[in-house]
Amino acid sequence: MGTTEQINTYTRIPPFIEIMDSTLRDGEQTNGVSFLPHEKLMIAKMLLSGIDVDRVEVASARVSEGEKDAVTMICRYASKIGKLRKVEVLGFVDGTISVDWIASCGCKVMNLLAKGSLKHCNGQLNKTVKEHIRDIEGVLEYAGQQGIDVNLYLEDWSNGMKDNPEYVYEMLDSLTTKNVKRFMLTDTLGVLNPLQVVEYMRKMVKRYPNTHFDFHAHNDYDLAVSNSLAAALSGAKGLHVTVNGLGERCGNAPLASVQVILKDQFHAKTSIREERLNDISRLVEGYSGIAIAPNQPIVGENVFTQVAGVHADGDNKANLYSNALVPERFGRKREYALGKTSGRANIDKNLRELGLELTAEQTLKVTQRITELGDRKKFVTQEDLPYIVSDVLKHNVPEEKVRLVSYMVSSAYGLKPVASVKVEINGNQYEAEAMGDGQYDAFVKALRKIYKNSLNRTFPILANYSVSIPPGGRTDALVQTVITWRNADKVIKTRGLDADQTESAIKATLKMLNIFEDINT
């Protein structure tokens, strides 16, 4: 019997695991994150229609008018696509107040926050368990009258099971007979380990076999993914996640990681469309302002990049350094880094992708130059490679089809920056002016005018923009700007280096335009 079969024999993993995404509620409790209503709508649209999560928790009741606007817009959209009952809002044991707030937004599902530990019940509410149950029952009855479905959170359930399991059982003994669709068991403070999750979840499933349990993990001990998996293996029918692992303190279980482990390691069924995971990750990264770590599994910038030359050599010969997490599965592609540990195999891979053919001796010279650059901590991209080849082999530098003739950017306190740009494109000169929210934004808007009005062509979309400055505090330090661009299905990354940040970004932009000009001619 195989490992997976053994695990399924001794556990109670359901045939299908519901995925509830809480990016817009619990994820927004990340320090410094606050989504605007239209941003919430765009994220919810992709989660519901692009990623196909089973449910999405979009807000807490009674927070603000802006929150109410967001929930109303999301519910309106969900209703149009027949998924209104997949939208959920956190509510409180406050009589009729939360129910009325949720109903006024057009929402049909409330996730009612109750106390899952005696310590919370006594210490925060100053009530007995019977008093708390009575209050919950009042909210459940009123919600039913308003046509609102209710899922029940047991906040701090983890400590409840550790310290006073009889409290948890008294709550469930009373409330499993009521109109509650799901009981959502939370490790609010992230204190559990997988063995404890297995123990406690099995006790819940054994005692209440006909009840739907969700598990809600927090990542304080870096165990959110492991604990979520343990919960599923022990009978939980639903797991809560957030995009990029956003959430209070150390965050929640990341959607992408939970999905691939469930599918690959335990053959669990979910509804998630994996090819869109990178898209939702980047969308949330942009709106939240929380950068994804380059080594974040599945969605990190570097996770499909081979750095060591021996890995590229192994891939060339027998695809030796690949596993089930192939990049194409997630709408991405494998890359081979250029640096001091690249080796000839990495460089061969990049040269072939660019259509450049070099002799063994020429490749060796290019490899040596890239190694020298790596030793000096220079960042080398595939787009730099033709210039390095030309420099090393004393060829002519690739022809500049797009050349910056002149530009001027001005900024003044209280006024938007203005840019005046003159460029030469395929021998013809064009000029334009534009205002922007910053100097570089004004520069790019002027370029967009030229491409739209003079050339009747689209201008590539800026997909990602990062700036790095060496530590040390010097005001004259070189700034490295790395910009990712997208034009139709083509994505490239260009780099600019200059003591001036705007000039650095402009250099990266001119590189990009020349590359796209080569592609389009």
Q: What gap in Å lies between CA 323 and CA 297, rounded to an integer?
A: 13
Instruction: Please say if 344 is a catalytic residue.
Output: no
Helices first, then strands: H and E counts in the chain: 18, 16
Q: Is the pLDDT of residue 341 over 60?
A: no
**DSSP character for 243?**
G
Q: Which whole number is the average pLDDT over 315-331?
A: 69
**Would the pLDDT of 388 be above 70?**
no
* Strands, sheet with 461-468, edge to edge from the N-terminal-most edge strand: 461-468, 479-487, 490-498
Question: Cα separation of 339 and 367, whole Å?
Answer: 9
Mean pLDDT is lowest, of 116-120, 340-344, 461-465, for 340-344
Give the dihedral sign, CA 353/357/363/366: negative
- The pair phi, psi for residue 23, each rounded to 5°, is -55, -40
User: Distance between CA atoms of 424 and 512, rounded to whole angstroms?
Assistant: 15
Q: What average pLDDT does this structure show over 278-292?
A: 91
Residue 398 pLDDT grade (very low, low, confident, very high; cuts 50, 70, 90): low
Contact status, residue 19 vs residue 241, Cβ threshold 8 Å: yes
- 169 exposed, middle or buried (CB, 10 Å; 0-12, 13-18, 19+)? middle
How far is Cα 344 from Cα 312, in angstroms, rounded to an integer? 9
> What pLDDT was estimated at residue 481?
86
DSSP secondary-structure letter at 237?
S
Beta strands at 55-60 and 305-306: parallel, antiparallel or unpaired = unpaired
Q: Is 25 a catalytic residue?
A: yes
Q: What is the DSSP string of 119-172?
A: HHIIIII---HHHHHHHHHHHHHHHHHTT-EEEEEEETHHHHHHH-HHHHHHHH
pLDDT for the residue 367: 73
- Residues 348, 381 contacting (CB under 8 angstroms): no
Residue 396: predicted pLDDT: 47
Q: What's 373's DSSP letter?
A: H
- Say which range, 113-117, 122-126, 154-158, 353-357, has the weakest mean pLDDT: 353-357
| In the predicted structure, residue 256 carries a pLDDT above the cut 80 | yes
Catalytic residue among 25, 55, 182, 495: 25
**Torsion angle of C-alpha atoms 372, 375, 381, 382, degrees rounded to 10:** 40
Distances in Å between the Cα of 274 and the Cα atoms of 19, 34, 40, 328, 329 are 13, 26, 21, 10, 7
pTM listed for this prediction:
0.75
The answer, yes or no, to whether residue 145 has pLDDT greater than 90, is yes
Amino acid identity for residue 69 in this structure = D
pLDDT per position as a tens digit, 87-97: 999 999 999 99
Q: What is the pLDDT of residue 484?
A: 87
Q: Does 446 score more than 90 pLDDT?
A: yes
Give per-residue pLDDT as tens, 59-77: 999 988 989 999 999 999 9
pLDDT over threshold 90, residue 369: no
Phi, psi at 126, each rounded to 5°: 60, 45
Structure-token match 């399924």, residue found: 8
DSSP three-state, residue 482: strand
Of residues 470 and 509, which shows the higher confidence score? 509
Q: What local confidence, expressed as pLDDT, does residue 431 receive?
A: 95
- Is a pLDDT exceeding 80 seen at residue 439? yes
Q: Which residues contact 157 (CB under 8 A, 6 or more apart)?
A: 116, 117, 168, 185, 186, 187, 188, 200
Out of 136-140, 181-185, 398-402, pick the least confident. 398-402
The amino acid sitting at 70 is: A
What is the model's pLDDT at position 309? 44
What gap in Å lies between CA 164 and CA 359, rounded to an integer?
73
Which contiguous run of DSSP H or E holds residue 216?
strand 213-216
Cα separation, 45 vs 194, whole angstroms: 33
pLDDT of residue 302: 77
Is the confidence at residue 233, as pLDDT, over 80?
yes
Q: What radius of gyration, in Å, describes the C-alpha atoms of the chain?
A: 27
What was the pLDDT predicted at 196? Answer: 98
User: Residue 181, Cβ neighbours under 10 Å: how many?
Assistant: 13
Confidence of residue 493 (pLDDT cuts 50, 70, 90): confident
**Distance (Å, whole) CA 89 – CA 76:** 14
Categorise residue 365: left if φ over 0, alpha if ψ from -120 to 50, beta otherwise. Answer: alpha
pLDDT over threshold 50, residue 6: no
The dihedral region occupied by 269, where left means phi > 0, alpha psi between -120 and 50, and beta the remainder, is beta
The predicted structure's pLDDT at residue 310: 44
| pLDDT confidence band for 139 (50 / 70 / 90) | very high
**pLDDT, the chain, mean:** 86
d(CA 140, CA 91): 11
Which one of the listed residues 67, 155, 248, 503 is annotated catalytic?
155
Is residue 121 a contact partner of residue 132, using CB atoms and an 8 Å limit?
Answer: yes
Using one digit for the tens of pLDDT, what is the confidence trace for 402-424?
A: 999 999 998 888 889 999 999 99
Task: Report how far residue 333's alpha carbon sits from residue 109's, in angstroms, rounded to the nearest whole number.
Answer: 39
Coil/strand/helix, residue 473: coil
Tokens standing for residue 477: 């330090």
